Amino acid sequence: MINNPLIEYTLHLADNALVLGHRNSEWTGHGPVLEQDIAISNIALDLVGQARYFYQYAAELMGGGATEDSLAFLRDCRQYKNCLLVEQPNGDWARTVLRQFLFSAHQHLLFSELTAGKEPRLAAICEKALKEVTYHLRWSGEWVIRLGDGTEESHRRMLQAIEDLWEYTSELTLPSQCEVNLEHAGVIADSGRLRECWNKKVQELLDEATLPYPGPGSKLSLRWSGKEGLHSEHLGYLLAEMQFLQRAYPESRW
Amino acid sequence: MSTDNEHTGQEKSPAPGAKPQGDWPLWEVFIRNKQGLDHKHAGSLHAADAQMAIENARDVYTRRMEGVSIWVVESRHIHASSAEESGSLFDPANDKVYRHPTFYELPEELKYM
């Protein structure tokens, strides 16, 4: 369908942000305490904002009447290119903050690279987003430490969260076909190096949180990849909820 | 990355996270806005430690660009004068006009001092 690797990659960046933004927004009104309800909602807003910039760029590149809205609301699971980590259900607060930390650590490294990279529009978007992502990383990292090195219950929940989410982490830095193409063309950075940095950063923080570092790829290898449109069962439900309004009442506006 | 500095520079109390939510102290938040010279009281919140209090204050009290600097102080460290004392503390100053610098006439050049 889309044989332009830049378009596919931009959609991947957009879909990551939108799906995680949507997941975080599910906490709104249900946060454990007021300030954290606001914090996670702010992060959701930041991510949706990033998604918009990426979708707008992808729409421009695609032409043919594509818009940020048509890309967000009218594509189905098979066309979504987000990684599997971001579509996992929120679970408890431990799982949510760990998911955020694992993702933000990756996003921070990736956006730093892209900001200095050869693709000017992606560089501009990432430069703008980098300050937000820095905050997401700080906020989520500190929560992982607080809960990991916390009470017996919080520690137990963090262990469970690691167990639930770790298998999805290798996909973050496992390049899809379009990423391989872009790496060869020198448009994006080498994923191997990103993986090294990510492993190091995550291991340091988990140590500080008195949590075990499972090591790279020590869980089951992924038999499928969200980046290629092969998703877990969760994405279908997520998109159904997110897209219902636009599909039932097309072109509806506030 | 800034987060590295946060972790190495962070002062560590024993088991920083080990406070169950019931034990989170109350903090008073003071925010200085971009044009301001002083921090103004913006509200209060509960947090487990100073880092968290600052982040909560950032999330709750600066999301509409209300400020560029945050101070947080545990409420127990703030000592206030009591309402019953206000008579003896403040009323005497009311009729002591000689304490105000209003009788000196400024020269023309310093008019807008």
Answer whether A54 touches B (CB < 8 Å): no
Binned at pLDDT 50, 70 and 90, residue B19 comes out as low
Q: What is the ipTM of this complex?
A: 0.76
What is the domain count for chain B?
A: 1
Provide the sign of the torsion angle of the four alpha carbons A58, A61, A62, A63, taken in this order.
positive
Nearest-by-Cβ selection for B20 from A112, A134, A151: A151
pLDDT, tens digit, 9 for 90 and up, residues B47-89: 999 999 999 999 999 988 888 999 999 999 999 998 888 888 8
Q: Which fold has domain A5-248?
A: Ferritin (1.20.1260)
| B29 part of a folded domain | yes
Do β-strands B40-46 and B26-32 pair in parallel, antiparallel, or remain unpaired?
antiparallel
Cβ A91 vs Cβ A154: under 8 Å: no
pLDDT range class, residue A209, cuts 50, 70, 90: very high
Does any domain span residue B77?
yes
Q: Looking up tokens 């560089």, which residue turns up?
A: A123
The tens digit of pLDDT for each residue in A24-38 reads 999 999 999 999 999
Does B13 fall in a domain? no
Range of the domain at B99: 19-110
Has residue B7 been placed in a domain? no
CATH number at residue B56: 3.10.20.520
Reported as a single tens digit per residue, the pLDDT across A68-127 is 999 999 999 999 999 999 999 999 999 999 999 999 999 999 999 999 999 999 999 999
**Taking a C-beta distance cutoff of 8 angstroms, is the pair B72, B29 a contact?**
yes
Residue B75 lies in a domain: yes
From chain A residues 119-178, the ones with a CB under 8 A of any chain B CB are 134, 137-139, 141-142, 145-151, 154
The pTM of the full predicted model, rounded to 2 decimals, is 0.86
Name the residue ranges covered by the structural domains of chain A.
5-248
pLDDT reading at A163 higher than 70? yes
pLDDT digits (tens, 9 = 90+) for A233-252: 999 999 999 999 999 998 88
Nearest C-alpha in A relative to B46:
A35
